Amino acid sequence: MEQKDTILDSIALLKPEHVLDVGCGCGSFTAELSPHCGEITAIDSSTALIDLCKNENQKPNITYVCMDARNIAYPDAGFDLVLERDCLHHILEWEKVLDEMMRLSSKYVLIEEPIDDPRSDAKRNTMRAQRLYLEVQKEVGFSHYPHIPLNTILGYFKQRGWDVETKVIKSDQPVDFGQFFSAFGKFAEKSNRKEYWYDRLDRLKHELKGKTLCEEDEVFISVNRKI
């Protein structure tokens, strides 16, 4: 399979008939995929997000379903393409999700995940900023974990005997502190010590004063099960 830069590019090329989108979130990305696909089933474990998908990103060829990605109730090889974008690092048992994705696909599996690389001050500052997000999210029960190291994901594929193609897209594009933390308040407000979290944010802003944050690197992993 020709390795493209993004899941969207790959799907536009492959034109799959039956697609499963794992961890679809609000459905905005699923809706972007819809012109290039036959039928799409999109799952997420959050009932609130599935309701949002149905209200804001419904398309004639998309079926949104509330379901846990660790145990997906569809038959083996029921989809020609199974994908996930930014979902694995929201699930502690991400290996189970990969097993399910491989079980459900007859042809292609596509994965896009953020990865860390402490190659610069901006990258290290961003990783530090990300850790503050994870702390407040953990306190309010939002499932979000550190990015899975690339070698760990690739090691799992190797252990299972699955051949993959991998492409890392690096970005050092600066991101403004306020923009990076635009969703912080949503989590802090759910905590019963929100002042503590706003104080932590202020302290971080003070410590990082004048230093930039930047976009995350991404890894695209594709598996062609037909080979």
Torsion angle of alpha carbons 172, 98, 108, 1, nearest 10°? 50
Of 13 and 48, which CB lies nearer to ligand SAM in the complex structure? 48
* Whole-number Å distance between alpha carbons of 83 and 131: 26
Of 36 and 198, which CB lies nearer to ligand SAM in the complex structure? 36
Of 66 and 122, which CB lies nearer to ligand SAM in the complex structure? 66
Which position among 39, 68, 117, 215 is part of the footprint of ligand SAM (CB under 6 A)? 68
* Whole-number Å distance between alpha carbons of 204 and 222: 37
Minimal distance, residue 227 CB to ligand SAM, in Å: 26
Phi, psi of 194 (to 5 degrees): -60, -30
- Give the interface segment with ligand SAM, choosing from 19-27, 103-111, 129-137, 205-213 (CB under 6 A): 19-27
Q: Does 69 bind ligand SAM (CB under 6 A)?
A: yes
Which position among 23, 212, 221, 223 is part of the footprint of ligand SAM (CB under 6 A)? 23
Q: For residue 204, which amino acid is it?
A: L
* Footprint of ligand SAM on 81-110 (CB under 6 A): 85-87, 90-91
Q: Does 72 bind ligand SAM (CB under 6 A)?
A: no
In this structure, the chain runs to a length of 227
Closest CA to 32 of 53, 17, 52, 48: 53
Joined together, the tokens standing for residue 43 give: 């799952």
* Residue 64: its H or E element: strand 62-66
Does residue 69 contact residue 46 with C-beta atoms inside 8 Å? no
Of 190 and 198, which CB lies nearer to ligand SAM in the complex structure? 190
Which position among 14, 34, 44, 115 is part of the footprint of ligand SAM (CB under 6 A)? 44
Minimal distance, residue 195 CB to ligand SAM, in Å: 27
* Footprint of ligand SAM on 107-166 (CB under 6 A): 143
* Whole-number Å distance between alpha carbons of 46 and 26: 10
Residue ranges that bind ligand SAM, judged by CB under 6 A: 23-25, 28-29, 44-46, 49, 68-70, 85-87, 90-91, 143
